[in-house]
Amino acid sequence: MTEHTVKAFDDDITRLRGLVAEMGGLAELSVAEAMDALVSGNEVLAAEVIARDKRIDLLETEVDRLAVSVLALRAPLADDLREVIAALKIAGVIERIGDYAKNIARRVGHIEGRKRFEPLTLLPVMNELAGDMVHDVLTAFAARDPIAAAEIVQRDSKVDAFYDSIFRNFVSYMVENPATISSVAQLMFVARNIERIGDHATNIAEMVYYASTGDYLPEREHVVHSGLDVLV
């Protein structure tokens, strides 16, 4: 590559990473605000979360276009190729996290008796665990930190365990309080979305680790291969 070509490529990578970071920041905000809206019944805030998803979608489209352009015009190899493909795939995962936050926000107007509704009090802690994973994996991506990425993968089991516990609690609550079945069913859907946010943060962590090192996380190898073979 000429010096001009190298600079152009570096500029493209910087732009690509900036777009992914912007997407991630918006998705992280939506995860937090969707839960705030659910707990408080704030439908105005919920509407803001839903509207923000369009901006996340537009950013993903911009990432797609830029990544395809870099691949076609710059023909990156090895580390650079992994960098571009990881950014492309991570953007897709962040878009799904934004969708889950939007799904939670859409449930805000469907919860009855919110002030004294015990099941609702169980969700914020689980949401905070998943939200922290999203925040930390975006930090790991920005820092190209495989060690931090590997640590985040280990935390997904806590979110899964929390989901299992909440699911059992919700089922018991519905049996004891049949009049709440509709509202609790909405919250079960919310809990499932939070669990998926944790899963997607884990997927990003795996991509960050591979893009940074060229290696798969050994204990997750069978999972990573299914989503990252294109990075080889």
Q: What is the 3-state secondary structure (H, E, C) of the chain?
A: CCHHHHHHHHHHHHHHHHHHHHHHHHHHHHHHHHHHHHHHCCHHHHHHHHHHHHHHHHHHHHHHHHHHHHHHHHCCCHHHHHHHHHHHHHHHHHHHHHHHHHHHHCCHHHCCCHHHCHHHHHHHHHHHHHHHHHHHHHHHHHHCCHHHHHHHHHHHHHHHHHHHHHHHHHHHHHHHCHHHHHHHHHHHHHHHHHHHHHHHHHHHHHHHHHHHHCCCCHHHHHHHHHHHHHHC
Answer yes or no: is 186 within a domain. Answer: yes
**Could you say which residues of the chain have pLDDT below 50?**
221-232
Give the per-residue pLDDT at 205: 97
How many domains are there within the chain? Answer: 1
Range of the domain at 133: 3-227
Answer yes or no: is 232 within a domain. Answer: no
**Nearest partner of 201 among 141, 144, 161, 142, judged by Cα:** 141
Give the per-residue pLDDT at 53: 97
Give the per-residue pLDDT at 115: 66
The single residue listed with the structure tokens 């996340």 is: 56
Contact 101, 34 (CB under 8 A): yes
User: What is the value of pTM for the model shown?
Assistant: 0.89
Answer yes or no: is 221 within a domain. Answer: yes
The tokens for 10 are: 């570096």
Give the per-residue pLDDT at 73: 84
Answer yes or no: is 101 within a domain. Answer: yes
Give the per-residue pLDDT at 216: 85
Answer yes or no: is 134 within a domain. Answer: yes
Answer yes or no: is 68 within a domain. Answer: yes
Q: What is the CATH number of the domain that holds 98?
A: 1.20.58.220
Give the per-residue pLDDT at 79: 83
Contact 130, 167 (CB under 8 A): no
The tokens for 60 are: 């993903």
Give Cβ neighbours of residue 230 (< 8 Å, ≥ 6 apart). 85, 89
Give the per-residue pLDDT at 3: 58
Answer yes or no: is 172 within a domain. Answer: yes
Answer yes or no: is 199 within a domain. Answer: yes
The tokens for 120 are: 């609702």
